A and B are shown apart, each in its own frame.
Chain A
Amino acid sequence: MSEVRDVVCPFCGCLCDDLVILVEEGKIAGVKNGCALSITKYLNYNRERISKPMVRKNGELEETSLEEAVNRAAELLANADYPVSYGWSNTSCEAIATGIELMEEVGGVIDNTSVVCHGPSVLGVHEVGHPTCTLGEIKNRADLIIYWASNPLQSHPRHLSRYTVMARGKFRKSRDERTLIVVDVRKTYTARVADYFIQIQPGKDYELLSALRTAVRGEELEQEEVAGVKREHIEEVADLLISCEFGVLFWGVGLTMTGGKYRNIDLAISLVRDLNAYTKFVMMPMRGHYNVVGANAVFTWQTGYPYAVDFSHGYPRYNPGETSVTDILVRGEADAALIVASDPASNFPRKAVEHLSRIPVVLIDPRWTSTTDIAEVVIPTAMLGIEVEGTAYRMDGVPIHMKKVINPPDGLKPDVEILRMILDRIRAMRGG
């Protein structure tokens, strides 16, 4: 049995880079240092794998050669009037860059999973920017941590132990040197380990953020209670925030998926800005997929915009609500789709899925999902961080090289190579 050390986990935005993978006869036999999500991924990644490219004939998916699948994918995308592309957060930055080139070539829309995740966070940050830092700074210096509408013990299990309250930093060495505040509708597992748990009524984040701002600015709160939280508790928390040395606000999709959406983020930024008049305070969204930050970064450096980019006019346009894939599908406008490393048939609202099932879908993904059922062309790939190497961005925007641990099954190529083949084929069809 051999050990591969310092492996980077391809699950959540923490990108923990200290895993040890045990390999026996070319197969993964064990995982050290991983959380339950990570271990489950490494030990089950080969389940429900798709082994051969497939093309739908007479309503059934039939195995075919890679060349035929690539040709069919190229034809579908090149001949569409308004093709859309979605996914991109569970693949490498190299693949994302190629995908953007491809969608520019066919004059379509390219979007990533932030549209149904932290898209509103990105919109909020557009307005005024946000003060942030790396997770290393937080680990070494932060003495007050807020998780607002986020439950990292379930969604990012090692976040607390690697980067925040339970981490051993250079200047903050133990749990009792840090204060943990959790704001949530439910008393979550994370709330149970908090020093302060603020139970907020659902959909009242904007009100509570406003009240906290009022208290932080030293103004009088008129209401006895805001969002189910008593005035004296709001004032107590405001005092805590002001008197810390290095505070950080992590926020989850509880702020982006509920009423107000990006306006909640706008207000959270304003609160952190106010706090910087008194102390050092930073903020960071709890990004979910392991490379969703990379998707935003690559989109931005190549097109100027972080998601929902429309090339149909020949130049990049960005107008979430109009150019977001969710809205385009709900309005029934797209006439072909390229899905990469994602399962929108499971994750989109029904009306969007209904339209997706009516149009030809090219799916590039290693495993069977609900989206396989509605795909016209399916091209399986090797998995980043397990079978192939590449670049991903951690939630704090630090690019990290993902290692290869074992060889992929015969015939499976990385996403980036498949996308390059489709792009080359489209260009050849159009006379180079």
Chain B
Amino acid sequence: MGDYPNLNNVGLGYPHLKQIGGDQGLKRIKAVLITGRSYSQGMGIEFGKLSQQYRRIMNYCEMNEEDMKEIGVTAGSLVKLKSRRGELVLKTARPLQEVPRGVVFVPYGPWINKIIDEETHSTGMPSLKGIEVEIEPAEEHRAEGREEGGERLE
């Protein structure tokens, strides 16, 4: 990820969580991406993978509120997740299940799989959890129809 100025260790017990001084005052943090199943995602695939409902349900990430403050976003804002494999713009949502600082949760599905790591370490299993990402605000993408997503059924 390279060297960045102004490293502040903000997450107690989470040494990987660092605020990174970005360009033009844009705030970024490093976090660990965890993808997983959820009720909404399970129901969404049954509504149909091409359905509007599935799109509305998926396409979001859950972050700790302190982390959201750190980069100056609130629930409903757009953020960009950058991994070693690519980047993805997602809507943030207030976690229904508590997310600790330095962790970002995204439901398992076609969107997030674009940026997960295909490296299987000779096991066949790509790394679907524990992926290092950088997160930054991405409101400039709102006009591109990315604001859909983040509706949860539980």
Contact = CB atoms under 8 A, between A and B. Distances in A.
Interface of A: 11, 36-37, 40-41, 44-45, 47-48, 111, 115-116, 119-120, 123, 151, 154-155, 157, 185-189, 191, 199, 201-203, 225, 228, 253-254, 256-259, 261-262, 288, 307-308, 320-322, 324-327, 330, 343, 345-353, 367-370
B97 A324 contact: no
The 5 closest A-B pairs by CB, nearest first: A324-B124, A321-B122, A349-B118, A187-B98, A48-B48
B48 A350 contact: no
Interface string B73-116: 00000000000011000000001011110110100111001111
B46 A350 contact: no
B130 A203 contact: yes
18 contacts: A36-B42, A47-B46, A47-B48, A48-B49, A119-B125, A151-B97, A185-B34, A187-B98, A199-B100, A254-B34, A258-B127, A307-B124, A321-B124, A324-B120, A325-B124, A326-B124, A326-B126, A367-B48
Interface string B33-63: 0111111001100111111000000000000
A201 B130 CA distance: 10
Given A40-B47, A321-B121, A346-B110, 18 more contacts: A36-B42, A37-B39, A44-B46, A48-B49, A123-B123, A154-B154, A185-B103, A189-B154, A202-B32, A202-B102, A320-B123, A320-B124, A322-B122, A346-B113, A347-B108, A353-B113, A368-B48, A370-B49
B27 interface: no
A258 B95 CA distance: 21
A352 B49 CA distance: 20
Contact of A343 (B37, B49, B86): B49
A300 to B, nearest CB: 16
Nearest to A368: B50
Contacts of B86: 350
B113 A347 contact: yes
A345 B124 CA distance: 16
Interface of B: 13-14, 32, 34-39, 42-43, 46-51, 85-86, 95, 97-100, 102-103, 105, 108-110, 113-118, 120-130, 153-154
A19 to B, nearest CB: 15
B121 A261 contact: yes
B99 to A, nearest CB: 5
Contacts of A199: 100
A6 B20 CA distance: 57
Nearest to B153: A36
A75 B99 CA distance: 50
Contacts, number: 166
A120 B48 CA distance: 29
Contacts of B121: 261, 321
A268 to B, nearest CB: 16
Nearest to B40: A154
Nearest to A321: B122
B103 A202 contact: yes
A186 B34 CA distance: 10
Contacts of B153: 36
Nearest to B44: A40
Contacts of B115: 350
Q: Which of B46, B86, B110, B115 has the most CB of A within 10 A?
A: B46
A348 to B, nearest CB: 7
B49 A349 contact: no
A199 B64 CA distance: 15
Contact of A187 (B97, B110, B120): B97
Contact of B38 (A154, A202, A321): A154
A321 B120 contact: yes
A106 B121 CA distance: 28
B37 A288 contact: yes
Contact of A253 (B110, B122, B128): B128
A259 B126 contact: no
B42 A48 contact: no
Contacts of A228: 13
A115 B50 CA distance: 25
Contacts of B36: 151, 253-254
B123 A261 contact: yes
Contacts of A186: 34, 95, 97-100, 103, 105
Contacts of B14: 201
Nearest to B95: A186
A350 B100 CA distance: 28
A261 B13 CA distance: 23
A305 to B, nearest CB: 12
A188 B98 CA distance: 7
B125 A120 contact: yes
